[in-house]
């Protein structure tokens, strides 16, 4: 396949611009805690093997999904290479076929554990593009990020991109068992995202946390380094590593966090006390009343994303008052303020 100079091409390759009023913005309404994970803010060493978003004659216009997965794979590779994944998670990622060998080594626990840099996470761009309803004119950053956050993803090997495809064959319906398997990702990892105001200083700062999904005219890519007048990025057209003078138009920061192994088997427990109509949630041994106002889709405990289940008086178990006494009432939680979030879910 011939190389494609995206730096001079102005054709739309699959990105729609737009931010919703409710979308989180770093430094404004976002609840994602900032941390430095990569002090240099350089993500080249964690990049996955490059993957084209097109074959010889058909473009998927899935650049938002490809760049979304690429930035996630970089974060997961950092976790793997720096020994931050438990043995259980490594084994689970192998069984779910999230990993790809870069050297031809067999993908077995001993090899991955002893030589992690010989492997890379490889997630299904095709599945994410389909589940997020990518159209011939592309997709929105927030829509793909929301799909990933709520539905998860599978390994490339489970729903691969064919060597040759048409639009209809690439976007064929995904079998239900593959869709169900996507949720396994969310049992191990938390997902949250925020938009970042584009300035050189902001990009340098947030690249020390995670790689950034950014937009240049007509295309979504992953920024992996910001210099004075040039930014480096990872693309879904070869050559995969490129650079561009100036600043990108838009930046979205999707943060992956590692859930503790003891959270893998269940989401937050919810219940009602006999004789009461209130719905409570258990968090770290205490109970919180979920107000009638409802709750957002995701909460955070110590910076880890946890899916919040849809709950109501008719679909929660009832326990006795004696059982409920094991969980002291810690507060009310409905649509919390920023201060409430940090008081309940970030502070130990």
CA 103, CA 79: separation in Å to the nearest integer?
Answer: 19
Q: What is the CATH number of the domain that holds 142?
A: 3.90.70.10
Distances (CA, A) of 29 to 8, 33, 141, 193, 341: 35, 12, 18, 12, 12
Report yes or no on 194 lying in a domain. yes
Per-residue pLDDT for the chain (348 aa), expressed as one digit of tens each?
444 555 555 566 789 999 999 999 999 988 899 999 999 999 999 999 988 988 888 999 999 999 999 999 999 999 999 999 999 999 999 999 999 999 999 999 999 999 999 999 999 999 999 999 999 999 999 999 999 999 999 999 999 999 899 999 999 999 999 999 999 999 899 999 999 999 999 999 999 999 999 999 999 999 999 998 899 999 989 899 999 999 999 999 999 999 877 543 334 566 778 887 777 777 667 777 765 444 433 333 333 333 333 434 445 678 888 888 888 876 654 434 434 433 333 332
Phi-psi map region of 133: left, alpha, beta (phi>0 left; psi -120 to 50 alpha): left
Tokens of 105: 């080594």
Q: What count of Cα atoms within 13 Å lies in the side-chain half-sphere of residue 61?
A: 19
Q: What angle do CA 194, 199, 205 make, to 5 degrees?
A: 65
Report yes or no on 10 lying in a domain. no
Give yes or no: residues 175 and 289 share one domain.
Answer: no
Final residue belonging to a domain, choices 202, 233, 258: 258
Report yes or no on 184 lying in a domain. yes
CA 38, CA 48: separation in Å to the nearest integer?
Answer: 17
Tokens of 42: 């350089």
CA 237, CA 229: separation in Å to the nearest integer?
Answer: 23
Final residue belonging to a domain, choices 212, 241, 258: 258
Count of CB atoms situated within 10 Å of the CB of 343: 13
Give yes or no: residues 217 and 322 share one domain.
Answer: no
Instruction: Count Cβ atoms within 10 A of the Cβ of residue 28 and give its class: 0-12 exposed, 13-18 middle, 19 or more buried.
Output: exposed
Give yes or no: residues 223 and 272 share one domain.
Answer: no
The per-residue pLDDT for 317 is: 77
Q: What is the CATH number of the domain that holds 278?
A: 3.30.2390
Cβ-Cβ contacts under 8 Å for 205 (sequence gap 6 or more): 34
Phi, psi of 18, rounded to the nearest 5 degrees = 150, 135
**130 within 8 A of 61, measured Cβ to Cβ:** no
Tokens of 311: 């709950």
Give yes or no: residues 281 and 202 share one domain.
Answer: no
Final residue belonging to a domain, choices 229, 258, 287: 258
Give yes or no: residues 49 and 160 share one domain.
Answer: yes
The per-residue pLDDT for 269 is: 62
Residue 166, domain extent: 15-258
| Counted domains in the chain | 2
Count of CB atoms situated within 10 Å of the CB of 313: 11
Report yes or no on 4 lying in a domain. no
Report yes or no on 200 lying in a domain. yes
Give yes or no: residues 179 and 306 share one domain.
Answer: no
């Amino acid at each position: 396949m011939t190389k494609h100079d995206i730096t001079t091409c102005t054709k739309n390759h699959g990105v729609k611009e737009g931010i919703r009023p409710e979308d989180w913005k770093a430094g404004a309404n976002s609840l994602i805690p900032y941390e430095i994970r990569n002090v240099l803010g350089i993500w080249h060493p964690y990049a996955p093997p490059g993957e084209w978003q097109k074959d010889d004659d058909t473009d998927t216009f899935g650049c938002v999904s490809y760049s979304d997965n690429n930035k996630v794979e970089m974060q997961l590779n950092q976790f793997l290479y720096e020994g931050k994944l438990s043995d259980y998670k490594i084994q689970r990622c192998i069984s779910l076929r999230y990993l790809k060998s870069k050297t031809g080594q067999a993908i077995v626990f001993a090899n991955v554990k002893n030589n992690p840099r010989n492997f890379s996470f490889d997630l299904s761009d095709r599945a994410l593009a389909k589940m997020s309803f990518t159209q011939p004119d592309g997709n929105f950053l927030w829509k793909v990020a929301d799909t990933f956050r709520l539905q998860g993803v599978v390994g490339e090997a489970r729903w691969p991109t064919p060597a040759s495809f048409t639009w209809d064959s690439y976007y064929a319906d995904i079998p239900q068992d593959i869709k169900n398997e996507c949720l396994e990702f969310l049992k191990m990892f938390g997902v949250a995202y925020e938009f970042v105001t584009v300035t050189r200083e902001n990009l340098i700062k947030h690249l020390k946390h995670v790689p950034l999904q950014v937009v240049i005219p007509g295309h979504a890519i992953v920024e992996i380094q910001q210099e004075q007048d040039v930014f480096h990025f990872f693309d879904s057209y070869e050559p995969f590593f490129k650079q561009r003078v100036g600043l990108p138009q838009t930046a979205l920061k999707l943060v992956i966090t590692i859930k503790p192994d003891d959270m893998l088997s269940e989401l937050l427990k919810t219940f009602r006390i006999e004789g009461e109509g209130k719905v409570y949630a258990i968090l770290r041994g205490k109970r919180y009343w979920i107000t009638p106002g409802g709750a957002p889709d995701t909460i955070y405990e110590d910076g880890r994303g946890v899916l919040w289940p849809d709950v109501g008086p008719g679909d929660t178990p009832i326990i006795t008052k004696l059982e409920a006494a094991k969980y002291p009432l810690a507060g009310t939680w409905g649509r919390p303020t920023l201060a409430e979030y940090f008081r309940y879910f970030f502070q130990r």
